[in-house]
A and B are shown apart, each in its own frame.
Chain A
């Protein structure tokens, strides 16, 4: 009972590794158990160890103009430095506001009618600020894309006419690298988005729209395929029942398209994240991409190690986003056999 609840909890987080470990621990027959333990824990650990070893050995042999290529130890050290820098920046910010409040309080004490205001802190964004910026940007772009793509996918999947109308456009734009859109997006945003007190920064919009442009296609295509390939027998069920169009759509067509829809969303989010980093580098928009670019331009002896920290974090976030989508899929889809690779 105890093991079962823990097992479920871990499954929910979809850590396959944990699954396997727990399956092993809770298995009754231990024959061959040792082999399974090696499979579940030993092999991945050994692979990681081997990777780190190769990395440190090979990195030591490469001399760049920024010094030696950093090994795992150096990268870890820089990761800690980045954490420290972030904490220092936060402390500085807190102190900055405290000083203002104190000064304002003094002013008010001397003269109750004095005009007081608080100026915002304008320190450079830290590594963690950039992570947050990138996450917000990708989420915004992805959400906008999904809101556009799912309805288009549904109608193109359901209507031959609309499919014929949208198909050439989709086929034409799908293979375009979203980065090619970047200059156009930038110009259009500058021209169209003019406001004295903008809610969003232009750079944020540029990045988010670029993400949107590349997130559209996989979702549209997969949703359309899912909607148009509903099991013929289920359609016959709805014909025999004479279900009205709306009921048929809500009860039969959409549910059966959900697995494909999620496949599209997962693909989109993965592509969106990759593209965002590149777009931020290219356009100097705030985010992880800009962090990488700034470090590259900065060219200090620690730059390469800091870039590598960013690379690992980008990879890890990409992984977490994918698992998050999978979790959603498991929660909302009737088809529990979603692929976990």
Chain B
């Protein structure tokens, strides 16, 4: 009927405070099914906090979250994951002490696919690891991986849930040019093979510009603007926010 039917995730006036600091202030946003949406903003503008609110790690003080037409504002994180919200962590957080297969198999066993057999889960985990280019390191421990592979493992862990919506928090940060190229390619392949909608936080402009159809900009916890990559890149307030951010850092 209209575009709201296609909305997979929407936030209404999301406010999150840490003591006196307002990390998110009445943020409204929508993500539509099948989109790749970018979330940008200077350091400390509340991007990761928004992902933490979406995945249920933090409860917002105000506002509501909807996944499809279900209200998920106060649902526990595991239930949201079960419904199909997968995420990665900006500072990678693999299940240390468990090898790559076990890391991914955990999500396969508890996620949307709800496999119950250990063998079945391992096989599925191996498929996901080979999809993310990690199959030859499947029995290694996360600690033995280089950064690029740790980022891939973050993605593999999230994909294990077979998510409908994937939240990627700076998976491109710290990668070199070739690695970024490979990661961009992986982002598109995820959408094709898993039919997953992607919401991604990114500082690497090349990655944002070439993957996202729409970008949301946060600054000091307030939504500054949203639009196509070109619109956003030429938006005067975005430019000054970034410059201001750069100066503030000095």
Do these two chains really belong together in a complex?
A: no
Residues of B within 8 A of A (CB): none
Interface residues of A (CB under 8 A from B): none
